[in-house]
Amino acid sequence: MVQSLSADRMRALAVEGARVRLEELRTEIALLEQLVRDSGAGSGGRRPRARRRTGKRGQLSPAGRAAIVAAQKARWAKVNAPTAADASSAAPGNARRSGGARKRSRMSAAARKALSARMRKYWAERRKATAKAPAASKR
């Protein structure tokens, strides 16, 4: 048979449980602090302080900088170089970057003119159809 506990009894039990857990945690903390103290015993009992980083950093030598520049230029040359398949099939002006998206070709003047004519015709028909629709609905 299950007995229900009053709210006051439940609160008292919760407080007692929290007190016990707090004592366990304090014991663990004490043990961990003791371990930290003992691990620093080889250095005379003092832990070395971490050095603060100042705003200054070491400067790169001209030779080191030149090496970095050369390596970066080599990387860019590799990225921008056309692959063997691109070089054989593509025109010189359409070189593809390896690993990148294909560069979109430009539209020629003749193609642009033809497209313009098609679109003028398309929109003229749309305007004509739109003009007829309201006139038909008025009748």
- Say if pTM beats, i.e. exceeds, 0.75: no
Beta carbons of 79 and 99 less than 8 angstroms apart: yes
Q: Where are the domains of the chain?
A: 9-40
pLDDT in tens, 44-60: 555 566 777 777 778 88
Largest CA distance in the chain: 106
Measured distance CA(39)–CA(31) in Å, rounded? 12
pLDDT in tens, 12-69: 999 999 999 999 999 999 999 999 888 875 555 555 667 777 777 788 899 999 999 9
**CB-based contacts of 5: which residues, under 8 Å, 6+ apart?**
13
